[in-house]
Amino acid sequence: MGLLFAIANICGGLLLGLTTLDKWDGEKNFFNKIAGFLAPFQTVIGGVLVVLGLLSVIRSGGLIGAIYSVASILGGLLLLTDVFSKVPALEDALRKISDKLMPFKAIIGICLIVIGLLRLF
């Protein structure tokens, strides 16, 4: 579960932090190519982040692990924004949360990359 969670964090971070990473990259478009490859899997990556983040919060014993898990859940919610319209019962609440998180999309993305790399090592 740990390796899958780390990879999902890195992939989700690349998708969410693309605007900032693209500025750092310059003319090479390296991150745009990776994001183009990962874009069809956005819903799957978001679902994995939310589910494994919730499981990690339940199992987490420390404050740092809980912070990592909450960041992963927030990133997963941002990635699942398109899916929220298909769940009428929860659409309003989930859309409000997603809209409030949208200004922090790039920051959460960069945090997910760092969290994923820290979990790998």
Q: Give residue-wise pLDDT tens across range 19-48.
A: 788 777 777 788 888 888 988 999 999 999
Q: What value does the mean pLDDT take over residues 11-16?
A: 90
Q: Compute, in degrees rounded to 10, the torsion defined by CA atoms 38, 64, 74, 53.
A: 70
Q: Which residue has the higher pLDDT, 84 or 109?
A: 109
CB contact at 8 A, 108 and 101 = yes
pLDDT tens per residue across span 52-99: 999 988 887 678 788 888 999 999 988 888 787 777 777 778 778 878
Q: How confident is the model at residue 12 (pLDDT cuts 50, 70, 90)?
A: very high
Q: Where are the domains of the chain?
A: 2-120
Overall residue count recorded for the chain in this entry: 121
Counting Cα atoms < 13 Å in the Cβ hemisphere of 111 gives 15
